Amino acid sequence: MRYPPSLLNLIRELGKLPGVGPKSAQRLAFYLQKQTSNDIQALADAILDAKDSLQQCKTCFNISEKDQCAVCEDSLRKQNIICVVAEAADLLAIERSGEYSGLYHVLHGNLSPMNGIGPDQLTIKALLTRLDNIDEVILATSTTVEGEATAMYIAKLLSEIEINVSRIAYGLPVGGDLEYADEVTLGRAISNRRAV
Amino acid sequence: MLLSFSQINYRNLKTPKLDFAKGLTAIVGQNASGKTNILEAIYLAYTGEVLARRIDNLIKHDETEAYVSLIIDSGFAQQKIEIGLSSGYKSIRIDSQNMRAVDLAKEFAAVLIRPEDASLVHGSPSKRRAYLDSLLSRLSLRYALLLKEYNRVVEQRNAALKNHTDQSLPIWTQKFLELGSEIMSLRERAIKRIAEIAQETYSEIASDSKELSLSLQSQGKSLEDLYLESKAEEQQRAITVVGPHRDDIKIFLNNYGVQSYGSRGEARTTALALKVAEYQLLKEKQNHAPLLLLDDFSAELDINRRGFILDLASNIPQAIVTGTELAPKYDQFYQLAGGVLGD
Ligand SMILES: [Zn+2]
C-alpha cells in the first residue's frame, strides 16, 4: 500500500528537522496521528509562537525575546571576555556547565564552502566591532573539520590586534558536537582552554 | 575465529547460515553460485568495507534492507558483529552496541584475496590508493580519522576554490597542507614495510630472481612544494590537483615499471605479494592471525602462485577458500549449487 499524500507530506516535513532520519520521521508522523486535535493545536501554536516572539540578540546574536538577550543584559557577568560559539544551543550547553560567566558571540554556523557558508555568512564582522574592552576571546566551535577551520579563521583575524585568544580544550571525541557533550566534560574543557 | 555467518536479503544468497571451524574450509560451486558473495559479506562484517559501487547493490532485488551477522570467538568470549544495510546506509553493531568501522579494526582482521586483485597493479591509481587507505585505516585509528578529515577538507577547499568571494580559502589550504602532509608521512613509513614483505614474497613465488620495489609517486617531495608547483593548474581547473588523494604507488621490478612494462604473470605475482603484505602487517598489529578469505583459487592457473596461496591458506589458523573445484587439502567443505548449500 502507498501512504496517503497528506501522510507522506508530513513525513517529508518532519524529515527536514536536524537529527531526524526517514525512519524517525515516519515514527513521529504516526505518533502525531494518534494525538487529539487539541494536543496537535498546542504543538503547532508553540512552534509558531516561538518563531514569532524569538529574535536574535542585537549584540551577541543569541536567541532572545528582546533586543538584548539575558546574558548581555546581566551586568554581573564578566564584561571583558567573549566566548565564540557556532549555535545558540552551544551557548546553552556551556551555560549548563556553570564554569563560565563571561559574554558570548553566536556565529550561526561554521565555515562550510560546500554549503555556501563563507565568513560573510557568519556574524564574524559583528564580533570584530565588539572587541574594544575585551581582554580574551575563547573560540568554542566544535572539533569537526568545519569547527576547526572557523576557529582558525577567527584566530587569524584576531592575531592582528592585541587580545588573548584561546581555544577550548576539548576532552571531547574528534568530530564531537558541543551540544551533545556532557556538562562535566564541557566545564573542564572551558577551564582548561589553551592560548592560540 | 569465525564460528558462523548468517544473512538476510544479502544479494541473491540463498544460504541463511553457515558454520565454520578452524583450519581450511573449502566452498565449492560453479561460477555465479554465490561463493564470492559469501566471502564479500564476511569481509564486509569484519571491516565495514562495502566492495560494491553502492550499498544498494548488496540488497536483494525488491527488498529495502539486508542484514549480515557473524559470531566470532576471540579466545576470551564470543562476540557478535551485525551489519544492517538499507538504501545508502550502513550500520555496524558489536554485541548490540552501535560502532564505527574503525572500531571493528581494533579487534577483528580479515584479508580478502580475489582474482581481480591483479588490477591493483595495472588498474588506475585509485585502486592502489584504495589498497593503501584500506590497509592503513585498519592498522592505525589515527590514519583512519585523518583520512576522513582530509577528504572533507579537500571537498570544502574545492568548493572554496570555485567561489571567488569566499575569503576562507587560505584556512582550507592551511588545513589541507597540515593533514595532507601527515597522511603522506604515515604512508611513506608504511610503504617501506609493505615493500619489505612484498619483496620477500615475490622472490618466494617467482623463480625469476627479480627485485620488487615500491615507492610513492610523491616520495621525496613535500606537499607544500607539490602545491606550489601546481598552483597554475589549480587556478585553471578550480580543484585541488595534488595531495594524497591524487598520489600513486610506483611498482618496479629491477628497474622497469611493472604497471607499464610487466608481463601479466609479473603483475599477478606482484598483486599477490601486496595482499600477503596486508596479511602480515595486520597479523603483526593484531597479535593474532587474520582470517584469510581466498576467492576462486581455481581461477589461478599458474602453478607457483596457486601452490603458494594454497600453502598459505592451509598453514594458518583459519581460511575460507572458494573454487569451482575442491582445494587439495581441507578440513571441512561445503558444496554450493545455484546459491543453495548442500554438503
Ligand atoms: Zn546577547
Q: Do B163 and A111 lie within an 8 Å CB cutoff?
A: no
Determine the distance separating the centroid of ligand 1 and the alpha carbon of B57, expressed in angstroms: 51
Q: If residue A195 lies in a helix (H) or strand (E), which one and from where to where?
A: strand A194-195
Q: For residue A188, how many other CB atoms are within 10 A of its CB?
A: 15
Q: Which residues of B touch A152 (CB under 8 A)?
A: 171, 174-175
Q: Which residues of A touch B165 (CB under 8 A)?
A: 118, 120
ipTM of the complex: 0.83
Q: If residue B234 lies in a helix (H) or strand (E), which one and from where to where?
A: helix B231-237
The pLDDT value recorded for residue A189 is 73
Angle among Cα B133, B134, B136 to the nearest 5 degrees reads 65
- Per-residue pLDDT tens for B292-321? 999 999 999 899 999 999 999 999 999 999
- Per-residue pLDDT tens for B25-52? 999 998 878 899 999 999 999 999 999 9
**Smallest CA–CA separation between B296 and chain A, in Å?**
39
d(C-alpha B257, C-alpha B122), whole Å: 10
Determine the distance separating the centroid of ligand 1 and the alpha carbon of A61, expressed in angstroms: 6
The pLDDT value recorded for residue A180 is 54
Among A26, A120, A145, A172, the residue to mutate for chain B (most B Cβ within 10 A): A145
d(C-alpha A18, C-alpha A61), whole Å: 21
Joined grid coordinates for residue A74: 546581566
C-alpha to C-alpha distances, A45 to A13, A42, B168, B217, nearest whole angstrom: 17, 5, 40, 62
Given pLDDT bands bounded at 50, 70 and 90, which one contains residue B337? confident
The pLDDT value recorded for residue B208 is 81
Joined grid coordinates for residue B206: 617467482
Determine the distance separating the centroid of ligand 1 and the alpha carbon of A194, expressed in angstroms: 25
Percent share of chain B, pLDDT over 70: 98
* Residue A193 neighbours by CB under 8 Å, 6+ apart: A138, A166, A167, A168, A169
Among A144, A152, A172, A196, the residue to mutate for chain B (most B Cβ within 10 A): A152
Q: Which residues of A touch B174 (CB under 8 A)?
A: 152
Joined grid coordinates for residue B130: 584504495
- Facing A113 at nearest CB: one of B166, B170, B174: B166
Joined grid coordinates for residue B62: 525488491
d(C-alpha A110, C-alpha A149), whole Å: 8
Segment A43-64 shows an average pLDDT of 93
d(C-alpha B15, C-alpha B341), whole Å: 6
Segment A59-79 shows an average pLDDT of 95
pTM summary value: 0.86
d(C-alpha B122, C-alpha B303), whole Å: 22
Residue (of B285, B280, B283) closest to B139 by Cα position: B285
Q: Which residues of A touch B153 (CB under 8 A)?
A: 145, 149
- Per-residue pLDDT tens for A8-53? 999 999 999 988 888 889 999 999 999 999 999 999 999 999 888 8
Answer yes or no: is pLDDT of A177 > 70: no
How far the first Cα of chain B sits from its last, in Å, is 22
Residue-range domains of chain A with CATH: 5-53 (1.10.8.420), 74-167 (3.40.1360.10)
Answer yes or no: is pLDDT of B59 > 70: yes
B97 φ/ψ angles, rounded to the nearest 5 degrees: -100, 135
Q: Is B159 on the interface with A (CB under 8 A)?
A: yes
Answer yes or no: is pLDDT of B79 > 50: yes
Answer yes or no: is pLDDT of B339 > 60: no
Q: Can you point out the beta strands (E) in chain B?
A: 2-8, 17-19, 23-29, 65-73, 78-86, 89-94, 97-99, 110-113, 212-216, 249-253, 256-257, 291-294, 318-323, 332-337, 340-342
Given pLDDT bands bounded at 50, 70 and 90, which one contains residue A57? very high
- Facing B145 at nearest CB: one of A111, A118, A174: A174
Residue-range domains of chain B with CATH: 1-109+290-343 (3.40.50.300), 115-289 (1.20.1050.90)
Residue of B nearest to A22 (CA): B87
Determine the distance separating the centroid of ligand 1 and the alpha carbon of A49, expressed in angstroms: 21
- Facing A113 at nearest CB: one of B149, B159, B170: B159
The pLDDT value recorded for residue B341 is 59
The pLDDT value recorded for residue A174 is 42
d(C-alpha B153, C-alpha B223), whole Å: 15
The pLDDT value recorded for residue A181 is 59
**Smallest CA–CA separation between B141 and chain A, in Å?**
12
Q: Do B165 and A146 lie within an 8 Å CB cutoff?
A: no
